[in-house]
Chains A and B, each alone.
Chain A
Amino acid sequence: MSRFHRIVTHGILIIVCILMLTPIYWVLKTSVTGDNLFVYPPSIIPDDPNLFFYVEAWYTVDFVRLFFNSFAIATLVVIANLFLNAMAGYALTKQFPAKGLVLTFLLMSMMIPFHATIIPAYLLTADLGLLNSKLGIALPTLSHIVCILLFKSNFEAVPNSLIQAARIDGLSEWRILTRIMMPLSKPAVATNIILSFIWSWNDFLWPLIVVRSQEQQTLPLGLVSFLASFEDTTGSLYAFCVLVVVPSMLVFLLAQKDFIRGLTSGATKG
């Protein structure tokens, strides 16, 4: 690639980056200034920034309770996803009758939007007596088919000779999974953790339907009730938005290297 092409490419990339980061910058700026969004001309540099809106957001809603509800549910979802998806993914690397049918069924399930299954999911959760509980909120997200297939493709990349050697050494299938397959599939594990954490953390619709008391509310529900109750608190609202987003961004930034490797590793298999 010539020098000119490199400059043009990087110029376009920088413009795209600026366009994508502008809304995030705007949220951060508003959270420290409280400026009205519709002020004209808009100011790019924050004028007299302060963190008071974070203090106000922290005390206006019961942030600690909302945070721990979200955190407890996300932790439950992450652990369940690792456990269930790894087992399912490992099983799908084996040959068994109607394996193709099972895979087809899983792929078909992915094509049904969650909104179409809300009523049966709600009735099922109600029958289990899990409405308005953390387990009930976590239930539909305890396993994701995308993550099962991700584990499957990563496990298939592990040389079969390694598994045979482990089997000859007397390891059970469970120990092969936990001692050999999982440590060799760290990118898949990281991808599972990130995806399940972010999906659970940002989930709004299902908790909105299942949760009936303030004690079980998660951060996205708190954000909506904050927005519905106090329309004029621009600074506090945006500060609250930042507080909601920071944990998932932190998890992503910490594990992004493995995350990207996990998503691409299946593509180079074989």
Chain B
Amino acid sequence: MNWRAILINRFTITFGAIVLAVLLWNIYVGFNDDGRLTGQVVDENGDPVRGAQVMLARKTVTSVDTVAETTTGDTGNFSFQNHGQFALVLSVNSDAGSISRQVIPLWFRNQNVDLAEPLVVSP
């Protein structure tokens, strides 16, 4: 049997590449699907907002339901664990202002996310 011809043909290479890509992707997902979400809430001046209520909602194609809530700490930081979503819908309520349903698309369900940009509330 000509193993070289079997290994080096367009079918083996194409489907092999697909299988390899799926495998690598699943390994990456496996190491990054704890559902950790961290971020910071700041006001328009860039100062951290303490005690802001951050709500995480589930986005479906027909509705948006709140699944978890938390409150920011002294540095304006907040975190959720095991959020279980493939799209984050965040709302913030505070004395300094609010944010209404900011959607952050993810690559896979329960992806770990550290928000690079703080959530800026406005009155």
Q: Determine which of B10, B61, B106, B107 lies in contact with A230 in the assembled complex, contact meaning CB atoms within 8 Å.
A: B61
Min Cβ gap B119→A in Å is 19
Whether A250 pairs with B105 at a CB distance below 8 angstroms is: no
Chain A contacts for B25, CB-based, 8 A? none
Judge whether B86 is part of the interface by a CB distance below 8 angstroms: yes
Whether A60 pairs with B14 at a CB distance below 8 angstroms is: no
Whether B14 pairs with A59 at a CB distance below 8 angstroms is: no
B window 7-32: CB within 8 A of A: 10-11, 14
Chain A, 245-270, contact with B by CB distance < 8 Å: what is the 0/1 string?
00000100010000000000000000
Whether B14 pairs with A230 at a CB distance below 8 angstroms is: no
Alpha-carbon distance between A250 and B14 when the two chains are bound, in angstroms: 9
Q: Determine which of B10, B61, B107 lies in contact with A55 in the assembled complex, contact meaning CB atoms within 8 Å.
A: B107
How many residues of chain A have a CB within 8 Å of chain B? 14
Chain B, 71-112, contact with A by CB distance < 8 Å: what is the 0/1 string?
000000000000000110000000000000000011111000
Alpha-carbon distance between A56 and B11 when the two chains are bound, in angstroms: 30
Q: Determine which of A55, A232, A254 lies in contact with B105 in the assembled complex, contact meaning CB atoms within 8 Å.
A: A55
Chain A contacts for B107, CB-based, 8 A? 51, 55
Q: A55-B106, A55-B107, A55-B108 are in contact. Are A230 and B11 (CB under 8 A)?
A: no
Judge whether A50 is part of the interface by a CB distance below 8 angstroms: yes
Q: A55-B86, A250-B14, A254-B10 are in contact. Are A50 and B105 (CB under 8 A)?
A: yes
Q: A254-B10, A254-B14 are in contact. Are A52 and B61 (CB under 8 A)?
A: no
Our count of residue pairs bridging A and B at CB distance below 8 angstroms stands at: 27
Whether A52 pairs with B62 at a CB distance below 8 angstroms is: no
Chain B contacts for A154, CB-based, 8 A? none
Judge whether A196 is part of the interface by a CB distance below 8 angstroms: no
Min Cβ gap B22→A in Å is 11
Q: A56-B87, A232-B61 are in contact. Are A254 and B108 (CB under 8 A)?
A: no
Chain A contact residues: helix, strand, loop or mixed: helix
Chain B contacts for A50, CB-based, 8 A? 105
Min Cβ gap A257→B in Å is 10
Chain B contacts for A232, CB-based, 8 A? 61
Alpha-carbon distance between A216 and B113 when the two chains are bound, in angstroms: 36
Min Cβ gap A157→B in Å is 24
Whether A52 pairs with B60 at a CB distance below 8 angstroms is: no
Chain A contacts for B60, CB-based, 8 A? 60
Whether A56 pairs with B10 at a CB distance below 8 angstroms is: no
Whether B86 pairs with A56 at a CB distance below 8 angstroms is: yes
Judge whether A233 is part of the interface by a CB distance below 8 angstroms: yes
Alpha-carbon distance between A233 and B63 when the two chains are bound, in angstroms: 12
B window 38-56: CB within 8 A of A: none
Chain B contacts for A52, CB-based, 8 A? 87, 105
Alpha-carbon distance between A25 and B86 when the two chains are bound, in angstroms: 27
Alpha-carbon distance between A254 and B14 when the two chains are bound, in angstroms: 9
List 27 A-B pairs, Cβ < 8 Å.
A50-B105, A51-B107, A52-B87, A52-B105, A55-B86, A55-B87, A55-B105, A55-B106, A55-B107, A55-B108, A56-B61, A56-B86, A56-B87, A59-B86, A59-B109, A60-B60, A60-B61, A229-B61, A230-B61, A230-B62, A232-B61, A233-B61, A236-B61, A250-B14, A254-B10, A254-B11, A254-B14
Starting from the known contacts A55-B106, A59-B86, A250-B14, 14 additional A-B residue pairs (CB-CB under 8 Å) come to A52-B87, A52-B105, A55-B86, A55-B105, A55-B107, A56-B86, A60-B60, A60-B61, A229-B61, A230-B61, A233-B61, A236-B61, A254-B10, A254-B11
Sorted from nearest, which 3 A-B pairs have the closest CB atoms?
A52-B105, A230-B61, A233-B61
